[in-house]
Amino acid sequence: MRKSKGWRITLYAILITYGLITLFPFAWAVSASFKTYAEIVGGGLNLIPQNPTLDNFRHILFGHNMFPRWIMNSFIIAGIGTIVNILLNSMAGYSLARLRFPGRGIIFYAILAAITIPGQILLIPNFLIMRSLGMLDTFGALIIPTAVNFTYIFMMRQFFVNFPREVEEAAKVDGLSSTMTFFRIVFPMARASIATQGIFVFMSFWNEFLRPLLYLASPQNFPITLGLRSFQDQNVSWWNYIMAGSLLSILPIIGLYIVLNKYFMTGFRIGGDK
């Protein structure tokens, strides 16, 4: 497409302005995390701190009795949740795509229907179910109900439907049982789909707020999303610690984004295909 010079300039102006709008809040958060509390509340529009300090990070990482634990909890919940999801979603997707068993059709339609149910409706009953299972205030309450994800089961099924049958037949000729064929041959070849669902599952566990709020009572079990609120009480908001903590809580996801960037994009193609 050929465009005039004026049009080009407008285009870049829009793109850069939007970029600045995106970065503006983060820039201030970064700035505040290196400032002292006094400098933050003292006002002044200097993005560069007068006396840059690492004290805020030092305090929450080493001087705070809970912060490191919250980060660790988030890693445990999101880590276990993601591994279990990848395994169970892939197995279910493979089963729906390739293996014949009675009731397969019904299960497939039930999964499709489940995708469309708004989460709010299940919240209260699930809380009561958790309570009667004695799982309140445990990580299990967060991991088990979301140990599978219906959307990604569907995605894995679509992947395996298009998977070349010859590969599996060759493995069978070599004497592998079909269970072994799945784990040794098929599963590793689904790397891209697995990475895509892994990223998004990890991110949704890591960023979750409502269910932890509902299920977890003891501060030592909190993930970081809940913990961040505790730097704020009725009277004072310790913006220096809150900003340092917020930024640290984003880092793992940003790391994931940088390392596995191409799989993020695959995820969106799938989203857009609907």
Does 26 interact with other proteins (rule: CB under 8 A)? yes
Binding positions for other proteins, 150-169, rule CB under 8 A: 150, 153
Nearer to other proteins, 24 or 191 (CB): 24
* Stretch of 56-64, 159-167, 187-195, 237-245 lying at the interface with other proteins (CB under 8 A): 237-245
Does 75 interact with other proteins (rule: CB under 8 A)? no
Binding positions for other proteins, 35-64, rule CB under 8 A: 40-45
Does 121 interact with other proteins (rule: CB under 8 A)? yes
Q: Considering only residues 99, 112, 161, 170, which one is a binding residue for other proteins as defined by CB under 8 A?
A: 99
Count the residues of the shown chain that bind other proteins, applying the rule CB under 8 A: 95
Shortest CB 58 distance to other proteins, Å? 20
**Structure tokens given for 41:** 């509340």
Q: Considering only residues 61, 135, 136, 144, which one is a binding residue for other proteins as defined by CB under 8 A?
A: 144
Shortest CB 96 distance to other proteins, Å? 7
Does 80 interact with other proteins (rule: CB under 8 A)? no
Does 142 interact with other proteins (rule: CB under 8 A)? no
Crossing angle for the helix pair 191-207 and 150-161, nearest 10 degrees?
170
Which has the closest alpha carbon to 265: 195, 203, 161? 195
Alpha-carbon span 272 to 36, nearest angstrom: 45
Give the burial class of 258: count Cβ atoms within 10 A of its Cβ; 0-12 exposed, 13-18 middle, 19 or more buried. exposed
Binding positions for other proteins, 181-210, rule CB under 8 A: 182, 203, 206-210
**Cα first-last separation, the chain:** 29
* Stretch of 19-27, 75-83, 158-166, 185-193 lying at the interface with other proteins (CB under 8 A): 19-27
Does 109 interact with other proteins (rule: CB under 8 A)? no
* Stretch of 50-58, 158-166, 184-192, 222-230 lying at the interface with other proteins (CB under 8 A): 222-230
Does 6 interact with other proteins (rule: CB under 8 A)? no
Q: Considering only residues 80, 136, 253, 260, which one is a binding residue for other proteins as defined by CB under 8 A?
A: 253
